[in-house]
DNA sequence: TCTGGCACTCAAAGCTGTCGAGTGCCAAGC
DNA sequence: GCTTGGCACTCGACAGCTTTGAGTGCCAGA
């Protein structure tokens, strides 16, 4: 006996009903809500089969069936129908994001929008420095021997860092340093700056050498080693909607969401491109985050990928709706970034 | 019959026990845990009095007593004994904050530290722009007719904004604009920039007038109107420790904590100075945040106040411990800011 | 003013029985 | 050979009941 079409239909119906009602679904109610064309007894047989194959399970005898992670996986891979955003929703996306005035604003608005659309927790990574290149470096003198280094990237990020020099640096030297580093580094991918920075030190005049050495150390630290990824988060209040799904306690989830490293891992490897990624339950192997699914994708101007964004929710989530929202928002954010 | 010393002792004991055990405290257990020198019957009389005066109440007949907000108020105002941080905790504060490399880092570390020390939700406001003055303004050309304006304040904040000009601006003009705005605005309190900005426009040469007008609009918008306050938050997971206190649902609290405006209101008016503020229950009149108390204070270098920081928790919180933590952290952050 | 004693109250916890949604299995039907 | 209606069975949820025990208020006596 094999997996016929009807059985797939049954699985789809189970997932859809369960996501909607949050209650185990039984054979009778399934028949009454979906035009499956067969009786509940037949459905029961199908359900027995699906259970044997590991797609659904019974929380306890004499309860309805609930999809397993394997069941959700099959659902998202083969069964779910695309559920595009309504026109009103799409208009809202555009209107809301169009008002953004700078990168911070874009990210901030995006994450809130995503949380609102999906009624779940939204996560947006700022454009990754490793995916950006230098657009401008600025040195501002704060005090004798102390400068502030400001870096602007092509993705719109602005990073700053205080640099303490062993000896004072004259205004003139500041100007020289600035033009030297700008000449050398502007347009360079951040991942490729280390050798350029080394060259800067090597080529600098004996007089400027000490200052340039200090500066280069900080440049390396800030731009490369520190791997400064930033993340915005919104919609944690939505977790309470599904408190029951999380075996009662939100603690582990809230804790995980406060860890930048965990969030980055959740969003997944940027390198996997602009494709949409879905992890279900333990597929993300983060303790405390079994029981959650993640729908994420990359975004970036003109087909490139500079960062990730996504949604975190209970495994029992409305996958088609979430997928549509994530995809639409990512696309539009990419467009906006392309304009800048 | 009046409020004698013993009755105050009884109230103090009730608050302390309740905070510790999270359960209504009865006369017997009170006598057994504290050396009050009288019998439980006497305590019962005292409790009856305290209840009549509104300091404590019974959740239901035949249950122990629980402090009311009025009771907590009396406790924090007159009864609580200072409970300084342990030496180890103080060392941890210093060590952890000393490693910060810039303002973002300071704020980030502070908020996490505070959350960890108090095991509650911590909130830290970035130095308020309205309390800062301009240290440097930078104009960077991104594209024809499009500049990025970067502002650095004396408090270490760096704000940026994209400016679109109707016509292109030559490199030379960019330099002129930059020195004009810097000459006029550096050192000026942000609250006082509007007239200076107006003067800039009035005094500018006919040739530069259009560009300067555009620039001044954005300056006004960014620096003044937008009132760009930033806030860092940490420790939301700690809310789950007290889920029961919040009538079961964390929703309203999580929602409130996502609203910047609400957080700012919670931290209180900066103008009230560096004194420690405590609001108990409905004293902060924010819907959904009755049931929470806030301990907050201002911070800033050299006795000034540039921002606020604090802790949000259930009314039934360890006030003495929280107060000590907030005060210590605020002091040390202020010191660090003074160094920069 | 304090104390011990006593009757009273009531939430929490445990126990029982009923209800009903859901199941598996089977013999009959298409 | 799949599908179907029927039937006995299971078991969580719920409501109602009792018991338990911590806690109270009041009172008479020290």
CATH of the domain at A286: 3.30.450.40
Whether residue A20 lies inside any domain: the answer is: yes
Q: Which residues pair with B160 in a beta bridge?
A: B150
How many beta-carbon contacts under 8 Å exist across A and B? Answer: 76
Whether residue A298 lies inside any domain: the answer is: yes
Same domain, B164 and B234: no
Same domain, B154 and B276: no
Distance from CA of B151 to the nearest CA of A (A): 10
Phi/psi for A180 (5° steps) reads: -60, -50
What is the β-pairing status of strands A146-153 and A277-279? unpaired
* Chain centre to alpha carbon of residue B102: 20
Average pLDDT, chain A: 89
CB A269 within 8 A of CB A159: no
A302 strand D contact, CB < 7 Å: no
B47 strand D contact, CB < 7 Å: yes
Q: How far apart are CA A96 and CA B143, in angstroms?
A: 25
Same domain, B124 and B234: yes
Q: What is the mean pLDDT of residues A21-39?
A: 88
Distance A322 CA to D2 C1' (A): 38
Is residue B23 helix, strand or coil? coil
User: For strand D, which nucleotides have at least one atom less than 7 Å from a protein CB?
Assistant: 2-6, 9-12, 21-27
pLDDT for residue B5 is more than 60:
yes
Q: What are the pLDDT digits (tens) for B188-218? A: 998 888 888 888 888 888 888 889 999 999 8
Q: What is the mean pLDDT of residues A167-181?
A: 90
DSSP state of B302: G
pLDDT for residue A320 is more than 70:
yes
Q: What are the pLDDT digits (tens) for A116-134? A: 999 999 999 999 988 889 9
Q: Do A138 and B140 touch (CB under 8 A)?
A: yes
Q: How far apart are CA A254 and CA A236, in angstroms?
A: 8
pTM: 0.90
B62 strand D contact, CB < 7 Å: yes
Same domain, B116 and B240: yes
Whether residue B37 lies inside any domain: the answer is: yes
pLDDT value of position B75: 95
Q: What is the mean pLDDT of residues B110-120?
A: 96
Same domain, A290 and A178: no
DSSP state of B189: B
Q: How far apart are CA B232 and CA A233, in angstroms?
A: 12
Confidence band of B226 (pLDDT split at 50, 70, 90): low
Q: Is B188 on the interface with A (CB under 8 A)?
A: no
Same domain, A252 and A324: yes
Confidence band of A85 (pLDDT split at 50, 70, 90): very high
pLDDT value of position A279: 95
pLDDT for residue A1 is more than 60:
no
The structure tokens 């005035």 sit at A101
pLDDT for residue B236 is more than 60:
yes
Same domain, B14 and B25: yes
Considering only residues 39-98 of protein chain B, which place a Cβ less than 7 A from any atom of strand C? 39, 41-42, 44-45, 60-63
Average pLDDT, chain B: 89
Residue in chain A closest to B163 (alpha carbons) equals A101
Q: How far apart are CA B48 and CA B65, in angstroms?
A: 10
- Residue from B169, B155, B148 nearest B222 by CA: B148
User: For strand C, which nucleotides have at least one atom less than 7 Å from a protein CB?
Assistant: 1-5, 8-11, 20-26
pLDDT for residue A87 is more than 90:
yes
pLDDT for residue B13 is more than 70:
yes
Is residue B308 helix, strand or coil? strand
CB B314 within 8 A of CB B283: no
Distance from CA of B263 to the nearest CA of A (A): 15
Write out the residue range of the structural domain in which residue A23 sits. Answer: 5-77
CB A164 within 8 A of CB A179: no
Phi-psi region of A163 (alpha: psi -120 to 50; beta: other; left: phi over 0): beta
Whether residue A82 lies inside any domain: the answer is: no
The structure tokens 């679109």 sit at B164
pLDDT for residue A160 is more than 90:
no
Q: Please list the helix, strand and coil fractions of chain A in percent, rounded to the nearest 5, in that order.
A: 55, 20, 30
pLDDT for residue A201 is more than 90:
no
Distance B21 CA to C3 C1' (A): 28
pLDDT value of position A89: 95
Q: Which nucleotide is nearest to B30 (CA to C1')?
A: D23
Find and give the residue nearest to D21, measured CA to C1': B62
B156 strand D contact, CB < 7 Å: no
The domain spanning residue B11 has which CATH number? 1.10.10.10
Distance B249 CA to D12 C1' (A): 25
Q: Do A150 and B152 touch (CB under 8 A)?
A: yes
Domain stop point among B34, B50, B77: B77
Same domain, B115 and B243: yes
Same domain, B233 and B329: yes
The residues near A217 (Cβ < 8 Å, ≥ 6 apart) are none
B130 strand D contact, CB < 7 Å: no
Distance A145 CA to C30 C1' (A): 95
Q: Which nucleotide is nearest to A30 (CA to C1')?
A: C22
pLDDT value of position A290: 85
Q: What is the mean pLDDT of residues A16-36?
A: 90
Q: Do B158 and A140 touch (CB under 8 A)?
A: no
Confidence band of A13 (pLDDT split at 50, 70, 90): very high
Distance from CA of A129 to the nearest CA of B (A): 17
B63 strand D contact, CB < 7 Å: yes
The structure tokens 């938050």 sit at B233
Token pair listed for B31: 């006598």
- For testing contact with chain B, the best of A121, A139, A236 (most B CBs within 10 A): A236
Q: What are the pLDDT digits (tens) for A221-269? A: 877 666 678 999 999 999 988 876 776 678 899 999 999 889 999 988 7
pLDDT for residue B41 is more than 70:
yes
pLDDT for residue A150 is more than 70:
yes
Q: Is B142 on the interface with A (CB under 8 A)?
A: yes
Q: Count how many domains chain A has.
A: 3
pLDDT for residue B272 is more than 70:
no
Distance B105 CA to D30 C1' (A): 68
- Residue from B82, B89, B123 nearest B332 by CA: B89
Distance A4 CA to D3 C1' (A): 15
**With pLDDT > 70 as the criterion, what percentage of chain A qualifies?**
95
* Chain centre to alpha carbon of residue A335: 17
Closest partner residue to B161 (CB to CB) among A102, A235, A254 is A102
- For testing contact with chain B, the best of A240, A247, A340 (most B CBs within 10 A): A240
pLDDT for residue B172 is more than 70:
yes
The residues near A314 (Cβ < 8 Å, ≥ 6 apart) are A242, A245, A246, A291, A292, A293
Q: What is the mean pLDDT of residues B319-330?
A: 96
Q: Do A161 and B101 touch (CB under 8 A)?
A: yes
Same domain, B296 and B149: no
The structure tokens 């088609």 sit at A320
CB A316 within 8 A of CB A245: yes
pLDDT value of position B288: 82
Q: How many CB atoms lie within 10 A of CB B78?
A: 10
Same domain, A134 and A120: no
Whether residue A151 lies inside any domain: the answer is: yes
Whether residue B317 lies inside any domain: the answer is: yes
CB B231 within 8 A of CB B264: yes
Same domain, B47 and B110: no
**With pLDDT > 90 as the criterion, what percentage of chain A qualifies?**
54
Lowest mean pLDDT among A93-107, A225-239, B79-93, B126-140: A225-239
Q: How far apart are CA B238 and CA B232, in angstroms?
A: 16
The residues near B225 (Cβ < 8 Å, ≥ 6 apart) are none
> Which helix (H) or strand (E) segment is A186 a member of?
none
The runs of H, that is alpha helices, within chain A are 5-21, 27-33, 40-52, 69-74, 87-98, 103-118, 171-185, 193-203, 209-219, 251-258, 260-267, 319-339
Domain stop point among A50, A77, A104: A77
A62 strand C contact, CB < 7 Å: yes
Token pair listed for B113: 């530290």
CB B263 within 8 A of CB B234: no
Q: Is B150 on the interface with A (CB under 8 A)?
A: yes
Whether residue B82 lies inside any domain: the answer is: no
DSSP string, B73-110: HHIIIIIPPP-PPPHHHHHHHHHHHHT--SHHHHHHHH
Helix axis angle, B193-203 relative to B209-219, nearest 10°? 170
CB A75 within 8 A of CB A280: no
pLDDT for residue B309 is more than 60:
yes
The residues near B17 (Cβ < 8 Å, ≥ 6 apart) are B25, B29, B30, B33
> Which helix (H) or strand (E) segment is A225 a member of?
none
């Amino acid at each position: 006996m094999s997996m016929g079409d009807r059985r797939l239909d049954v699985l789809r119906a189970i997932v859809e009903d369960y996501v909607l009602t949050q209650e185990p679904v039984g054979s009778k109610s399934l028949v009454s809500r979906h035009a499956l064309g067969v009786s509940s007894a037949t459905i029961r047989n199908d359900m027995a089969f699906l259970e044997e194959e590991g797609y659904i399970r019974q929380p306890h005898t004499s309860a309805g069936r609930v999809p397993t992670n394997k069941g959700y996986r099959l659902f998202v891979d083969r069964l779910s129908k695309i559920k595009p955003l309504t026109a009103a929703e799409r208009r809202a996306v555009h209107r809301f994001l169009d008002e953004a005035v700078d990168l911070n604003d874009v990210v901030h608005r995006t994450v809130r929008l995503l949380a609102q659309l999906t009624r779940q927790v939204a996560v947006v990574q700022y454009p990754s420095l490793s995916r950006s290149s230098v657009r401008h470096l600025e040195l501002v003198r704060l005090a004798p021997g102390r400068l502030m280094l400001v870096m602007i990237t092509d993705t719109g990020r602005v990073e700053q860092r205080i640099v303490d020099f062993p000896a004072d640096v004259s205004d003139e030297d500041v100007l020289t340093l600035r033009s030297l580093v700008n000449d050398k580094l502007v347009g360079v991918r951040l991942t490729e700056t280390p050798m350029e920075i080394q060259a800067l030190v090597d080529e600098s005049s004996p007089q400027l050498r000490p200052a340039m050495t200090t500066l280069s150390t900080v440049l390396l630290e800030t731009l490369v080693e520190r791997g400064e990824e930033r993340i915005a988060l919104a919609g944690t209040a939505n977790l309470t909607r599904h408190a029951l799904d999380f075996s009662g306690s939100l603690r582990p989830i809230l804790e995980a969401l406060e860890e930048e490293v965990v969030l980055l891992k959740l969003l997944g490897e940027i390198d996997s491109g602009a494709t949409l990624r879905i992890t279900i339950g333990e597929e993300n192997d983060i303790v405390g985050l079994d029981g959650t699914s993640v729908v994420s994708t990359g975004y970036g101007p003109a087909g490139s990928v500079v960062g990730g964004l996504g949604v975190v929710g209970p495994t029992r989530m409305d996958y088609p709706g979430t997928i549509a929202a994530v995809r639409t928002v990512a696309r539009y954010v990419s467009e906006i970034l392309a304009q800048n």
